[in-house]
Amino acid sequence: MAPLLEQLRAYTTVVSDTGDFNAIKQFRPQDATTNPSLIAAAAEKSDYASVVDDVLKQVRKDAGPAASDKEVAAKAFRPLEVAFGLKILEIIPGRVSTEVDARLSYDIDKSIAEAREIIALYDKAGVSRDRILVKLASTWEGIRAAEILEKEGIHCNMTLLFGIHQAVAAAEAHATLISPFVGRILDWYKKDTGKDYKGADDPGVQSVTTIYNYYKKFGYKTVVMGASFRNIGEITELAGCDLLTIAPKLLEELETTEGTLPRKLDPAKAQTMDIQKIPMDKATFDKMHAADRMATDKLKEGIDGFSKAIVDLEVVLEKRLSAISEPAGAAR
């Protein structure tokens, strides 16, 4: 028998869900993805102090002497996440996902502008657009922004995706990739019903399976990357999914667990399934979203959570600015 992680790689592209460079080096994923929470956690580690400090010094220089620490910190999120993305791209062979500010999730024009600015920073660093995925929340507005960006050659990763309506809309918009959140769906159902779920009964696993089969049945080019896992049982039930983004702790568990891992998701099998096509427009999207309590709750909660994480990161960066602005020899 071989480690589960080795077998999983035969069916599925493994993506690292972390901003920790050391963890990425250890588990050798094809791709990597980050979000504000992961960047904030990494930014507070001494290992990455030089990355953070270099970005803050450059942003302060660009902002000018009149800018306050608070203003500089607010401007630093985008260049900081790109700086982390550039470091990650030195390690992995594939793509890194970089997130549009979640506070823009219901604004098409501002989301597009932010995405273009992210890509401009990578362009300036000489990185091909084929190695970048811009992450957008799967609101109707976020999906519309992705549709425009994809036409410009900017590849999009639709995050905070919980329902089939979001998945269908994203595929119709020709988004490159979607990230349905398996563990967060499980969390909602456990809280709502008081039940525990395992294996194929896990509502998050069922949601991703439904989306995967729908995409393969109708030949959509958008690929599915299951995300937000609570245990390796969720991961093994989705063996065969296009991609799975997995936190270091669960990657380690998969690497140290041996057993037999059969393929669960298969495009050939999906082709034979009796699945009804869902015509999608804004009215249908809104109606389906309102009818799905879980998707409604988790999308709002996710946007609020990512928005708070950016605010928290700005506080960390403001404190860091004060520290690096102190005269040499000052107490720290």
Query: Which residues are catalytically annotated?
Result: 135
313-323 per-residue burial string, b: 16 or more CB within 10 A, e: under 16: bbebbbebbee
User: 308 with 67: CB under 8 angstroms?
Assistant: no
User: 129 with 149: CB under 8 angstroms?
Assistant: no
C-alpha closest to that of 200 among 236, 227, 230, 167: 236
Tokens linked to 109: 């024009």
- Could you give the CA distance from residue 239 to residue 257 in angstroms, rounded to a whole number? 15
User: 217 with 270: CB under 8 angstroms?
Assistant: yes
- Could you give the CA distance from residue 162 to residue 104 in angstroms, rounded to a whole number? 19
User: 149 with 115: CB under 8 angstroms?
Assistant: yes
166-202 per-residue burial string, b: 16 or more CB within 10 A, e: under 16: bbbbbbbbebbbbbbbbbbbbbbbeeeeeeebeeeeb
- Could you give the CA distance from residue 172 to residue 221 in angstroms, rounded to a whole number? 10
Return all residues near 313 (Cβ < 8 A) that are at least 6 apart. 36, 39, 40, 43, 77, 80
